[in-house]
Amino acid sequence: MQTKPVVMEKFHIVHTSFVVDLSFTNNITILMGYSGVGKTAVFSFIQECMSIDKRILCINFIDYQKNIGEILEQTSGKLIVIDDADVLLDSDARKHISLDEKNQYLIIGRNPADLFATKENIFELVSTSVGEHTVFTIQPYL
């Protein structure tokens, strides 16, 4: 599915020696790949930004008891970053995301079911050492 990002095309944050430098080309970005490449670390760095950037909402397993679908329906104008998505998102929430024009999504998970995703939506994390820094970017998975 090819739709332009509705909240932001770039996201940049520095967390000590880590730099997160993401370019979004789609409104739904699904981040998949091997275990241990830093996906949840990146999530935690983005989560830190919730305190200074109102456009960001982060959801992970801590929110397991909450009604995720209801949260998504009540949210507008945000980059919604969802870690542990394969456990947290049921079919209805996935369908809502696929049709949501009010929010942008960064979904960390490996199951694209019910998101009407195409290869344009699927990315993997890349880490590069630059001097003392580790820079995280995303690139197309396929």
| Contact positions vs other proteins (CB under 8 A) | 17-18, 32-41, 61, 64, 84, 86-87, 109-111, 113, 127, 129, 132, 134
Token pair in block for residue 100: 């949501």
d(CA 126, CA 86): 21
**Residue 53 or 63: which CB sits closer to other proteins?**
63
Residue 61 or 140 with smaller CB distance to other proteins: 61
Q: How many Cα atoms occupy the beta-carbon half-sphere of 116 within 13 Å?
A: 13
Shortest distance in whole angstroms from residue 101 CB to other proteins = 28
- Which lies closer to other proteins via its Cβ, residue 4 or residue 61? 61
Q: How far apart are CA 142 and CA 123, in angstroms?
A: 8
